[in-house]
Structure 1
Amino acid sequence: MKIDKEFVHPSHPNHKLKLEYTETPFCCDGCGEAGIGLKYRCQMCDFDLHKVCAMAPNSIAHAFYKKCEFRFYYKPPGAYKRVCDACRKDVQGFVYHCTRCGFDLHPCCANLPLRLDDGEQHNFYLCEKLSSACHRCGNKGLGWSYRSECKNYCLHVSCVKEMLVESWQTIYLNQNKNGKHREVQMGMLAPSLKGTMQNHHKGRVGKVRRCCQMATSALRIIISAILGDPTAIIAAVIGVLLSK
């Protein structure tokens, strides 16, 4: 698929959006979700779109909802608040909606791969429902998740999104009174998967170490899938998530 370096988007018709790369987190003005890496931006208006949101087709199908036809909307349809059925987060802007069934998907969630391969013989599969507890929150809950082929490792898509936002707040949003970024000890305020795993495995050091190794691998490829752009910044983010 050809990627235009600049174009006019219907949601921002007055100026052209230019494709650029950033290692600084941003909020997409289309869907309202966090992003990093490739984006389309209007420098004059401080307007940003995920690459996925900017290039979203008018309609899609999804393997989890075989009877649905999802159509793209710039604003959530209807008078009631809508929730993405993938990540269980509020729909604040761009959305794919099935009128017949009532399901909703953020564009980035709709674009998540069904299968991930970390290159080290570990495959992860996107699941509509969890049959075992998520390693982040400890619950099964609603919403999509990625599960390892061995079925020993699971992470909600929503949990990974929360971890990303929390880590970015730690790294980027802690500022002093002069508006300058403070130096932050990586991991001081970030969520700790390691602590969760210690509780899960009741302090068994070897089991926790192996699980953390798999967590590193899983997080890397799941974060890459959610952001749609594997970049160098992901390694730093993972370092924060797995610290302590």
Structure 2
Amino acid sequence: MEPIPDQPMDQPKQKMKIPCNHMLSYIYLTQSYSYCAVCDGDNGMCYYCPSCKFHAHSECIEWPETIDHPCHSRHPLKKVSPGTIDYTDGKCHFCREELVDPTYHCSLCNFSVDVRCWRFPPERTIYQPKSHDHTFTLMPRKITFTCNACGMLGDCNPYFCFECAFMLHKDCIDLPRVININRHDHRISRTYHLGHGGWDSCGVCRKEIDWMFGAFTCKRCPNYAVHSKCATREDVWDGKELEDEPEEEEEIEDPFKVINDKEIIHFSHEEHNLRLGDDNVIGYEKMRCDACITPISCDPFFKCVQCEFFLHKVCASLPRRKRSIMHTEKLDLQVTNKAGEYNGCRSCNKLFDGFRYCSRFEKFDVRCGSVSEPFHHELHPHPLYHILSPTGRLKLCGACGKYLHYVLSCTVCEFNLGMDCATLPRKVKHTCDDHDLSLHHLPGKSKGQLWCDICEGKVDPSVWFYGCDDCGSTLHIKCVLGDFSYLKPGNKYGEAELVANGGMTRPFCICCGKRCRFPSFLKATCPNIVCEQRWGFPSFLKAASPDSTVLFACSMDCAYDKYFMVWFYEDFDY
């Protein structure tokens, strides 16, 4: 190709026609380390032909003014800008992607197609014997129809089977035949016609299923069915087709071996026996379960006969491998290898010690990993179900008022509950009150202003808080639990130690300058010379000795402040 001569600035830039008929990709120009064939630019989006090594910006290409399309042979299509056809739905007729400039359009038929679907039109006929016995033919006109595979309304060109009178979306022809989903323990199989029967609501979205259309069903559970679109969602299905793979029952080891009526050997603590604790937990109520890191409280628990190792009875029975609504893969139960090893929960974003459920790349604490559907919470009258919100569409948590990605949603009313709030302990003990504190929610019912008995700040009754039914006290959830509620006091994290805030005098935080009011805080010892050289001494800091200074951090924000973060550093993955 001859080089393009220089042109005056006031003349339009010369464009070129695409020199080949190969399939083009739409990529960032910098990804291929090349230049636009027209303007020699080296950045921006461009069309790329892998066969001809051709690159060109969309604005540098001269697209034809009119085209003929095999799926719309009655009229030619004219090149337009999407903004000039405001009476359309703004999407391509075939791929249903948002229209971009340039677009080809027929104003007589209200038919629009993007450049990619013009250059690579959809197949006129599709025959896939594994999916259907007959051939599907693309109808040459746009109609409104109900897809026989997924039961959803379509407003496009359907594929039609003349033998069965089935109409399908194009992407429903390729639906898998046999799959596993994270909402059910057995395989489920696809059918184009569910048939009359006593079907339950959809096992994912919990909405009604129309038996006249297709769905996924379980051969072992006669009433279980899932909408086709729900079963193949990216947060439900792992993407694996299992039709030709034999189904084998996976043998999962039990989490413990029974010694007698009161003793077991748990896989996480095989060196010693665990004995079922007595009903009287006095002396143990402040101890924490090594699996979930919450206080033993009055729940049944096992205690090691030789060391300070505790497990709630429920936590001791956690399965070593399970399906979870949190992930499409099966999760493995793993234990902490050493004191001070902590992780970040992918679901609730909390740092935690203890046991964790893990996929290949993600980790969940056992509280989130054990959540199942339907989820019942005493502060909401309806069951809740897990919904993974699409990117950019966060949902408002009705407990804390924050917009979150991982939520449990109500199918009856517009209520969502974030995973952090869903796994909050229902009852807790705190030194500010002799009674148990329980979760409360009083939207629109409070007769006066509520105040936190710990920080003396205002309590918003529209968000959840802890309260005492006997004394009438109210407390912020963070004031009661703090940021380190799922980390175990006494462990060292990096160079810092987590210390229970049970002394007579609360220490000053190195970062915010306030006294630590939460149940635990981080403590580290820093040489004075390091403090002076790196940060200088804040006015409120007192040297513990001539050679070193004891630093305290009361919260996670303060722990990662410039004064303290070097002492609380540890690699972890969300």
Question: Aligned-residue CA RMSD in angstroms?
Answer: 4.2
Distance 1:27 1:136, change over 3 A: farther
Name the counterpart of 2:509.
188
Match of 1:151 among 443, 451, 472: 472
What amino acid is aligned across from residue 125 of structure 1 in structure 2? S
What amino acid is aligned across from residue 104 of structure 1 in structure 2? N
5+ unaligned residues in a row in structure 1: which ranges? Answer: 173-180, 196-214, 220-234
Q: Does structure 2 retain, via aligned residues, the 8 Å contact 1:87–1:109?
A: yes
Name the counterpart of 2:398.
85
Counterpart check, 1:62 vs 2:377: yes
Aligned counterparts of 1:82 and 1:72: Cα–Cα separation in 2: 12
Counterpart check, 1:29 vs 2:343: no
Aligned counterparts of 2:513 and 2:342: Cα–Cα separation in 1: 20
| 1:184 CA drift (Å) | 8.8
| 1:57 CA drift (Å) | 1.0
Q: Does structure 1 retain, via aligned residues, the 8 Å contact 2:325–2:371?
A: no
Aligned counterparts of 1:125 and 1:193: Cα–Cα separation in 2: 27
- TM value normalised by structure 1: 0.57
Q: What do residues 36-63 of structure 1 show as CA deviations (whole Å, max 9, x unaligned)?
A: 3332234x53x21021221211112222
Name the counterpart of 1:222.
none
What amino acid is aligned across from residue 132 of structure 1 in structure 2? L
Which aligned pairs between 1:68-217 and structure 2 lie closer than 5 A? Answer: 68-73=382-387, 75-76=388-389, 80-93=393-406, 95-117=407-429, 121-129=434-442, 132-134=450-452, 135-136=454-455, 138-141=457-460, 142-148=462-468, 149-152=470-473, 154-158=474-478, 163-164=483-484, 181=494, 187-189=508-510, 194=515
Secondary structure at 2:463 match in 1:
coil
Distance 1:82 1:11, change over 3 A: closer
Distance 1:188 1:32, change over 3 A: closer
| Residue-pair matches, total | 189
- Percent identical across equivalent pairs? 18
Secondary structure at 1:65 match in 2:
coil
Q: Indicate the structure (1 or 2) with the bigger Cα radius of gyration.
A: 2
| 1:100 CA drift (Å) | 2.5
Q: Which has the higher contact order (CA 8 A, sep 6+)?
A: 1
Secondary structure at 1:59 match in 2:
coil
What amino acid is aligned across from residue 70 of structure 1 in structure 2? L
| 1:192 CA drift (Å) | 7.3
Q: Does structure 1 retain, via aligned residues, the 8 Å contact 2:323–2:330?
A: yes
5+ unaligned residues in a row in structure 2: which ranges? Answer: 1-313, 500-507, 524-551, 556-574
Counterpart check, 1:20 vs 2:335: yes
Aligned counterparts of 1:10 and 1:115: Cα–Cα separation in 2: 25
Q: Does structure 2 retain, via aligned residues, the 8 Å contact 1:32–1:92?
A: no
Aligned counterparts of 1:69 and 1:77: Cα–Cα separation in 2: 22
Q: What do residues 118-139 of structure 1 show as CA deviations (whole Å, max 9, x unaligned)?
A: 6994321211137621233712
Q: What do residues 122-168 of structure 1 show as CA deviations (whole Å, max 9, x unaligned)?
A: 3212111376212337122241111234234x332255676449x9x
Moved more, 98-107 or 108-117: 108-117
Counterpart check, 1:5 vs 2:292: no
- TM value normalised by structure 2: 0.28
| 1:70 CA drift (Å) | 0.9
Aligned counterparts of 2:441 and 2:512: Cα–Cα separation in 1: 25
Aligned counterparts of 2:333 and 2:497: Cα–Cα separation in 1: 32
Aligned counterparts of 1:64 and 1:78: Cα–Cα separation in 2: 28
